[in-house]
């Protein structure tokens, strides 16, 4: 067995987006697309020689083949050891944990997360650093630069190894440790939460439904919820991971997890419902007859985290992405802790977590997490909810109503307009950006615009600056419109329109979110000219 040096030429467009490089699966499968990008990763981090990495993916189509290629490239690049999940499977938070637990030099995660999978759908690759978190912008930019000058990649000519068997094998001199994907992660969860209390709640008749959406969390949820916590068998549905996620979007939101929503709003609804995405880092939480928006979930968890053992000493601070509602800011103010506002994408939370400035973070896109790993973590969020419910012994609807009565309610919704022609989306954003200086002071839909800008972020830890992270239009009274283009899609452009309106209460806290937001929605369409530029009047997905 030898390490081969194969000549190659740069491939255009290998630029990581919000979370790694995502393309259509056939693009990734066409040699040397994957090879070039993986070599660029190794080159950008100063080589792989002597290093240890974690490797795993969400099990989507091409996951196993890609894993064999990456292992052979790691070996040829001189890596000492790779820890890989059995079957080349690891949820994103479990991969983050393994990187930290084993103090490795980083990890490669094969996932396109919430994007559909299959021979004609999406595939993705991203690199996480030694802290367990997504590579920051400077590193992803270095990877992209490396793809533009690449002239060779290194790969071992060894035969494929058996990733189905737990234990150590050697690949061209490199140690490969195939590990149980669930065990260490489940142990971490047991160390954070009051499992006996949650177990007692299930034993007392508490009913739950967890929709794994045929994605990676099935085995994790079955082991933790059904085996360790005693939830009734069948609590986890769609628990067998499939390479095409059963043909569905593995995206836990009211549109793509509609069956769960229907059950939670039915006469025989369980007490609690949850779902997770392709790679297990997102969560949707639903009570009986009530949907919990991710922004509200973050605020609620921040207000109640102290009820779980890991957070008993209180939170150091909280962080949310800019488009996420300000609900958590109100909780932080009442707790007397700092609240940070970052650009979209988990990579921006890493420095704040590493520096000990924040304990909890969240995004409106169904992402919540804490300093236990450096990724958002779907099952973690579900377990924190369960821990709080076990202490409070009250329905989700009552707990949310009490939360809003105390802090007021940030009505919130995101409207996605998908597969828009890229030039039209760009033209719309350019026109909107050009109009910003004239907006303050203007009245629209009975509201007055207070401020309008294109969000720029200076990282308080390392001083790095990220510009053009989304247009925000802020009204008096706390209402807000945010517009940005997605950085995770693989087809055309997706416009994300984020809408927020604050109701201080005590009146008007139980309106339908879309109805409460109507003036803000109208203002957004008028100010951005969405129909004129894109031809779209109604969104494809509403969360």
**Residue 243-282 contact track with Co ion, rule CB under 5 A, x = bound:** ----------------------------------x-x-xx
d(CA 540, CA 303): 33
Which CB atom, from 18 or from 293, has the smaller least distance to Co ion? 18
Q: Pinpoint the alpha helices (H) of 477-517.
A: 513-516
Active site residue 113: yes
Which CB atom, from 105 or from 277, has the smaller least distance to Co ion? 277
Cβ atoms within 10 Å, residue 140: 22
CB of 118 to ligand VG1, least distance (A): 16
Which CB atom, from 77 or from 217, has the smaller least distance to ligand VG1? 217
Please answer whether residues 319 and 461 qualify as being in contact, where contact means their C-beta atoms are separated by less than 8 angstroms.
no
CB of 284 to ligand VG1, least distance (A): 12
Q: What length does the chain have?
A: 543
CB of 324 to ligand VG1, least distance (A): 8
Among ligand VG1, Co ion, none, partner that 486 touches (CB below 5 to 8 angstroms by kind): ligand VG1
- At a CB cut-off of 8 Å and minimum separation 6, what does 196 contact? none
d(CA 351, CA 460): 8
> Which of 446, 461, 455 is CA-nearest to residue 473?
455
Q: State the residues that interact with ligand VG1 by CB under 6 A.
A: 18-19, 113-114, 277, 281-282, 321, 344-346, 363, 365, 367, 486-488, 496
Among Co ion, ligand VG1, none, partner that 209 touches (CB below 5 to 8 angstroms by kind): none
DSSP 326-390: THHHHHHHHHT-EEEEE-SSGGGTHHHHHTTS-SEEEETTTEEEETTSSS--HHHHHHHHHHHHH
Which CB atom, from 113 or from 295, has the smaller least distance to Co ion? 113
Which CB atom, from 282 or from 480, has the smaller least distance to Co ion? 282
d(CA 82, CA 96): 14
- Total of chain residues touching Co ion, rule CB under 5 A: 5
113 forms part of the interface with Co ion (CB under 5 A): yes
d(CA 134, CA 20): 8
d(CA 490, CA 23): 5
Tokens linked to 433: 């950006």
Among Co ion, ligand VG1, none, partner that 365 touches (CB below 5 to 8 angstroms by kind): ligand VG1
Among Co ion, ligand VG1, none, partner that 253 touches (CB below 5 to 8 angstroms by kind): none
CB of 365 to Co ion, least distance (A): 9
Among ligand VG1, Co ion, none, partner that 156 touches (CB below 5 to 8 angstroms by kind): none
Q: With left for phi above 0 and alpha for psi between -120 and 50, is residue 486 left, alpha or beta?
A: beta
Read off φ and ψ for residue 210, nearest 5 degrees: -120, 120
Which CB atom, from 93 or from 243, has the smaller least distance to ligand VG1? 93
Which CB atom, from 388 or from 425, has the smaller least distance to ligand VG1? 425
Q: State the sign of the Cα–Cα–Cα–Cα dihedral 279, 283, 284, 286.
A: positive
363 forms part of the interface with Co ion (CB under 5 A): no
Q: Is 166 helix (H, G, I), strand (E, B) or coil?
A: coil
CB of 526 to ligand VG1, least distance (A): 23
Which CB atom, from 370 or from 488, has the smaller least distance to ligand VG1? 488
Tokens linked to 359: 């304990």
CB of 115 to Co ion, least distance (A): 9
Please answer whether residues 91 and 185 qualify as being in contact, where contact means their C-beta atoms are separated by less than 8 angstroms.
yes
CB of 176 to ligand VG1, least distance (A): 26
Among ligand VG1, Co ion, none, partner that 363 touches (CB below 5 to 8 angstroms by kind): ligand VG1
Q: State the sign of the Cα–Cα–Cα–Cα dihedral 262, 268, 273, 279.
A: negative
User: Residue 86 half-sphere exposure, CB side, CA atoms within 13 Å?
Assistant: 11
Q: Is 239 helix (H, G, I), strand (E, B) or coil?
A: coil
| Active-site entry in 96, 111, 113, 486 | 113
Among ligand VG1, Co ion, none, partner that 404 touches (CB below 5 to 8 angstroms by kind): none
CB of 278 to Co ion, least distance (A): 6
d(CA 148, CA 145): 5
d(CA 168, CA 102): 15
Q: Which residue in the shown chain puts its C-beta closest to ligand VG1?
A: 113
State the catalytic residues.
Answer: 113
Applying CB under 5 A, the residues found at the interface with Co ion are: 113, 277, 279, 281-282
């Amino acid at each position: 067995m030898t390490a081969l040096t194969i000549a190659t030429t740069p491939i255009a467009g290998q630029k990581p987006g919000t979370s790694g490089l995502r393309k259509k699966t056939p693009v990734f499968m066409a040699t040397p697309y994957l090879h070039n990008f993986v070599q660029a990763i190794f080159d950008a981090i100063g080589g792989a020689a002597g290093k240890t990495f974690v490797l795993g993916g969400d099990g989507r189509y091409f996951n196993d083949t890609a894993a064999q290629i990456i292992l052979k490239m790691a070996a040829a690049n001189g890596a000492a050891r790779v820890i890989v999940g059995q079957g080349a499977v690891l949820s994103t938070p479990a991969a983050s944990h393994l990187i930290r637990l084993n103090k490795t030099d980083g990890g490669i995660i094969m996932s396109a997360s919430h994007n559909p999978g299959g021979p004609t759908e999406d595939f993705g690759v991203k690199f996480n650093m030694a802290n367990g978190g997504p590579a920051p912008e400077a590193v992803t930019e270095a990877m992209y630069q490396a793809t533009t000058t690449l002239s060779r990649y290194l790969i071992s000519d060894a035969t494929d190894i058996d990733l189905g068997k737990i234990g150590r094998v050697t690949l061209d001199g490199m140690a490969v440790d195939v590990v149980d994907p669930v065990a260490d992660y489940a142990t971490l969860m047991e160390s954070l939460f009051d499992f006996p209390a949650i177990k007692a709640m299930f034993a007392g008749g508490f009913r739950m439904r967890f929709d794994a959406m045929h994605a990676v969390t099935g085995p994790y949820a079955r082991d933790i919820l059904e085996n360790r916590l005693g939830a009734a068998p069948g609590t986890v549905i769609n628990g067998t991971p499939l390479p095409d996620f059963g043909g569905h979007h593995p995206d836990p939101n009211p549109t793509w997890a509609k069956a769960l929503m229907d059950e939670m709003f039915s006469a025989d609804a369980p007490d609690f419902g949850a779902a997770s995405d392709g790679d297990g880092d997102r969560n949707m939480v639903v009570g009986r007859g009530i949907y919990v928006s991710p922004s509200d979930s973050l605020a609620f968890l921040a207000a109640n985290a102290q009820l779980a053992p890991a957070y008993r000493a209180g939170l150091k601070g909280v962080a949310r992405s800019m488009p996420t509602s300000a609900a958590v800011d109100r909780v932080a103010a009442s707790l007397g802790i700092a609240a940070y506002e970052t650009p979209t994408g988990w990579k921006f939370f890493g420095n704040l977590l590493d520096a000990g400035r924040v304990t909890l973070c969240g995004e409106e896109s169904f992402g919540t997490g804490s300093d236990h790993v450096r990724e958002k973590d779907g099952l973690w969020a579900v377990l924190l909810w369960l821990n709080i419910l076990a202490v409070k012994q009250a329905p989700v609807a009552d707990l949310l109503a009490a939360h809003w009565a105390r802090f007021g309610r940030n009505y919130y919704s995101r409207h996605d307009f998908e597969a828009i022609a890229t030039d039209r989306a760009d033209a719309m954003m350019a026109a909107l950006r050009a109009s910003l200086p004239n907006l303050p002071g203007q009245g629209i839909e009975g509201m007055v615009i207070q401020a309008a800008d294109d969000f720029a972020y200076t990282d308080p830890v390392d001083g790095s600056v990220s510009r053009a992270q989304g247009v925000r239009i802020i009204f008096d009274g706390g209402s807000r419109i945010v517009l940005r283009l997605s950085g995770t899609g693989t087809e055309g452009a997706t416009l994300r329109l984020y809408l927020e309106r604050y109701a201080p209460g005590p009146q008007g806290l139980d309106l339908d979110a879309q109805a409460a937001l109507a003036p803000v929605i109208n203002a957004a369409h008028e100010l951005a000219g969405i129909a004129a530029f894109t031809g779209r009047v109604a969104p494809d997905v509403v969360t």
